[in-house]
Amino acid sequence: MAVLTGAGVSAESGIPTFRDNNGLWRQFRAEQLATPEAFANDPELVWEWYDWRREIIAAAQPNAGHLALVEIERRVPHFTLITQNVDDLHERAGSRNVIHLHGSIFVQRCLRCSRESSGPRPPKCVCGGMLRPGVVWFGEALPPEPRFAAEDAVRESDLLLVIGTSGVVYPAAGLVYMAKRVVEINPSSTPLSSRMDERLEGPSGEILPRLIA
């Protein structure tokens, strides 16, 4: 089994999604905060925004949906959890086989030597280079390793659960078209809904525990 999660799976932990009514892209402009050009233009502003999001995520706790996915992983023989989220709530809940398509908000990467480090952000890389958030921005390619691992996992699985994603950001959303059977868990319908074999309508923190029961 494979699972693709988006910001909706962390919504019940108090982490804002991007495109819902109170979503980040309703309050902030992506092109000023989440592109390589934005960072080149005003790195301090971009870091301030990511530091603010880091604090929200660090203070949040995994919810019943994250925990149910841990239980599913324990029960099925082959399980891959593919997430677009840059938070660490799947890992903190106890999920083991997790692929991050869009990087991690707790990682910083050097613009000069590409070295990555996690934990508190030092002012500069050990090489003296400037650090950027270790996430994927608009206009950037996905890192190939997680992308291909995710595609393999979806192709090899009998079932893909698509949880809490608006399904508008590619290539992540394209995984749905590689799946044998797809089930969507989301309180709202999405552009991917018509492709689904089944839809379970509701918040993942309620639907996933019920699925196990």
Residues 41-69 as b/e (b if ≥16 CB within 10 A, e otherwise) read eeeeebbebbeebbeebeebebbbbbbbb
Q: Identify the residue among 80, 95, 157, 165 touching ligand OAD (CB under 6 A).
A: 165
Residue ranges of E strands in 19-172: 80-83, 98-100, 103-110, 116-118, 131-135, 160-163
Q: Identify the residue among 166, 175, 182, 192 touching ligand OAD (CB under 6 A).
A: 166
Regarding 94 and contact with ligand OAD (CB under 6 A), the answer is no
Measured CA to CA, the distance from residue 9 to residue 60 in angstroms comes to 13
Q: Tell the smallest beta-carbon distance from residue 85 to ligand OAD (Å).
A: 7
User: Does residue 102 have an active-site annotation?
Assistant: yes
Regarding 54 and contact with ligand OAD (CB under 6 A), the answer is no
Regarding 50 and contact with ligand OAD (CB under 6 A), the answer is no
Q: Identify the residue among 3, 34, 68, 196 touching ligand OAD (CB under 6 A).
A: 34
Q: Identify the residue among 3, 15, 18, 50 touching ligand OAD (CB under 6 A).
A: 18
Task: Give, for 209, the enclosing helix (H) or strand (E).
Answer: helix 204-212
